[in-house]
A and B are shown apart, each in its own frame.
With several copies, the nearest count.
Chain A
Amino acid sequence: MQRNSNHTTIVTIEKVIDETPTVRTLYFSDHIMSNVLPGQFAMVWIPGINELPMSVMISKESGKAAFTVRKHGLASTGLFNIQTGDKIGIRGPYGNAFDIKEGRLLLVGGGTGLVPMMRLLTHVKPTDDVTVLIGAKSKDEVFFETLANELLKNNSHNVIVSTDDGSYGEKGFVTDAAEKLVSTSHFDGVYTCGPEKMMYKIVQSAHSRGIFVQASLERMMKCGIGICGSCCVGEDLACKDGTIFDGNHLSKNKEFGYSHRNKAGILEDY
């Protein structure tokens, strides 16, 4: 029987890797999740605790996938604390995928927003010239730098880390680094995922110069399939119309970059 993507499948965590003191990657076997498109997410059930939307992280082993989670509130901490051998439920994949251009690409990721970026890197062509910008507050929050370099070893590439406090890589905001890049050289496509204020600036930098840009939006998600409405961004439903939108569309959306809805559905400013 074919799997219905809306039914929760139980998987067992096979390996847990600490990326930073507050970020972990949990690996499991699942053929469907191992092959999702870059940008797609899953709804992840932590039994007895909650269910959260999570970008599907890549695994080097075929037939496997992972989630990279930052410990935050109750739910994400519950997932963070999952150990090898524990079971979680997954449904999906949900959402659309990045429209990957050819040529000179710029990827800008912050925190766990790097997860879809890593899968995007597995889809670039060998002829592409790829720049990855990784933003973090400080040195101990940097992760996936080695992975990015490894994934791009056959490409002309550049992985740049910038930390707000300068404790590692370039000092300064990743948005400034991005602005500098797009203002000085040509790009065929810019992709970003991370804090919305960051994405907003990246989209502005690129879109104002006519560069194709896509951002993956995060919103409160309950259903993941376009029923509950909790993920709305203006008239868009992030889970169903997105999560990936391009610069053209985002520049017309009055909520992007400014406000989002909380668990009760009240519009709050970022």
Chain B
Amino acid sequence: MEPSLATSIGKIQLNKPAMLASGILGISLDVFNRLYRSGAGAVVTKSLSSEPWEGYPNPTIFSVNGGGWMNAVGLSNPGATNFAKMIESNQNVPIMVSLVGSIPKDFEMMINEFKNCKVTAFELNLSCPHVAKVGLEVGDDPELVKKIVTTVKNSTDVPVIAKVGLGTTHYLNTVKIAIDSGIDAITAINTVRAMAIDVETQRPILSNKFGGLSGTPIKPIALRCVYEIASKYNVPIIGCGGISTWEDAIEFFLAGASAIQLGSAIGDNWINVFDDINKGILQYMKKKNYSTIGEMVGLAKKF
């Protein structure tokens, strides 16, 4: 039997396991359609806020010497209301809507905006490392995480995912609180707080000084987070961070992820990366005689 690329992340069913990560190319329905055609199993939108945000001035993204990317786009986004209107017509593409906010009410309000949209899941960004008052500053506050997840879960029947990252408190605590508050799945990880300085002008390169490191450099870190979460908790996991090849994808499955997201790899290999990864996974499954992704998930945990 031909192996299947379909996977389920708890209640979420996807035809293909590699998704577009939040913030990458993620502001237009036309582009979502194109990515879906290119082999993405789902697309995650840019993180949306209750009001439109312009984000930080440029430079907001650059390629790091020695691999990877650093960004501080500052969560620029058209706002949940504008965005919901834009994807109202969507029928085909599994869209996961990423949300940022500072208080439970922000999230409640935004989720309400999407009541007429076909949304596969909401992903709560509790882990952006470079914007004050949202992202990690929320994820680092256990009480707030609890309140937000509880509120969100009460506001919608759509599955809700919490996206975590390396903050000032231990991400495993955030995961635990999110699970205890009813979260459906975890995405791990977001970018890692970092910086770069231009030696000629002697100033930080990003306008925001600090940014988030993504791409190959963070893969070994992301993989250990997925493995740690999978070893400790029984929660569906989406692996994210530095994935750019099918081998990377398999590593994340073996560590315990049921699906993966990727962003930076698009900067290196453009959108064919989805197709390349899908093909590689299929070949691996044939060789190892798996018929479903699920058979691989967490296999490395037994060692």
Contacts and interface: CB of A to CB of B under 8 A. Distances in A.
Task: Say if the two chains contact directly (CB < 8 Å).
Answer: yes
Interface of A: 4, 6-8, 10, 43, 45, 47-52, 75, 87, 89, 91, 222-223, 225-230, 232, 234-235, 237, 240, 261-267
Nearest to B52: A264
A226 B25 contact: yes
25 contacts: A4-B65, A6-B62, A8-B198, A10-B200, A10-B201, A43-B58, A45-B59, A45-B205, A47-B198, A47-B201, A50-B59, A51-B59, A222-B61, A223-B61, A229-B24, A229-B27, A229-B28, A232-B25, A235-B33, A263-B55, A264-B54, A265-B77, A266-B79, A266-B82, A267-B86
A111 B198 CA distance: 33
A223 B28 CA distance: 16
A18 to B, nearest CB: 25
A245 to B, nearest CB: 14
Interface stretch (B3-11, B181-189, B260-268): B260-268
Contacts of A230: 27, 76
B203 A75 contact: no
**Across chains A and B, which 7 residue pairs bring their CB atoms closest together, nearest first?**
A6-B63, A51-B58, A235-B30, A229-B25, A10-B200, A264-B52, A223-B61
B14 to A, nearest CB: 21
A237 B25 contact: yes
Interface in B64-84: 65, 69, 71, 73, 76-79, 82
Interface string B177-211: 00000000000000000000010110101010000
Interface string B258-276: 0000011011001000000
Contacts of A45: 58-59, 205
A13 B54 CA distance: 30
A188 B43 CA distance: 42
B220 interface: no
A227 B25 contact: yes
Tell me whether chain B's interface is mostly helix, strand or loop, or mixed: loop
A267 B54 CA distance: 13
B105 interface: no
Contact of A264 (B59, B76, B203, B270): B76
A12 to B, nearest CB: 9
A225 B57 CA distance: 17
| B: interface residue count bin | 35 or more
B266 A226 contact: yes
B300 to A, nearest CB: 12
Contacts of B31: 229, 232, 235, 237
Nearest to B53: A264
B212 interface: no
Contact of A222 (B28, B52, B73, B200): B73
A263 B75 CA distance: 11
A264 B78 contact: yes
B303 A48 contact: yes
Contacts of B266: 226-227
A10 B200 CA distance: 7
B267 A227 contact: yes
A8 B197 CA distance: 11
B34 A52 contact: no
Nearest to B271: A226
A8 B27 contact: no
B27 A265 contact: yes
Given A87-B200, A265-B77, A265-B78, A227 B61 contact: yes
A6 B68 CA distance: 11
A91 B59 CA distance: 11
Given A8-B59, A8-B62, A222-B60, 20 more contacts: A6-B62, A7-B63, A10-B198, A47-B198, A47-B201, A48-B303, A222-B73, A223-B267, A226-B266, A227-B24, A227-B25, A227-B264, A229-B28, A229-B31, A230-B27, A230-B76, A235-B30, A237-B31, A265-B52, A266-B78
Contact of B79 (A52, A225, A263, A264): A264
A234 B86 CA distance: 12
Interface in B33-59: 33-34, 46, 52-55, 57-59
A94 to B, nearest CB: 12
A225 B24 CA distance: 11
B26 interface: yes
A47 B73 CA distance: 17
B241 to A, nearest CB: 15
A7 B78 contact: no
Given A47-B203, A264-B52, A232 B30 contact: yes
Given A47-B198, A50-B58, A222-B58, A234 B303 contact: no
A265 B60 CA distance: 15
A266 B23 CA distance: 15
B203 A48 contact: yes
Contacts of B71: 223, 227-228
Contacts of B79: 264, 266
Contact of A228 (B25, B53, B57, B201): B25
Candidate in B52, B62, B201 with the most chain A CB atoms within 10 angstroms:
B62
A230 B46 CA distance: 11
B63 A4 contact: yes
Nearest to B76: A264
A49 B57 CA distance: 8
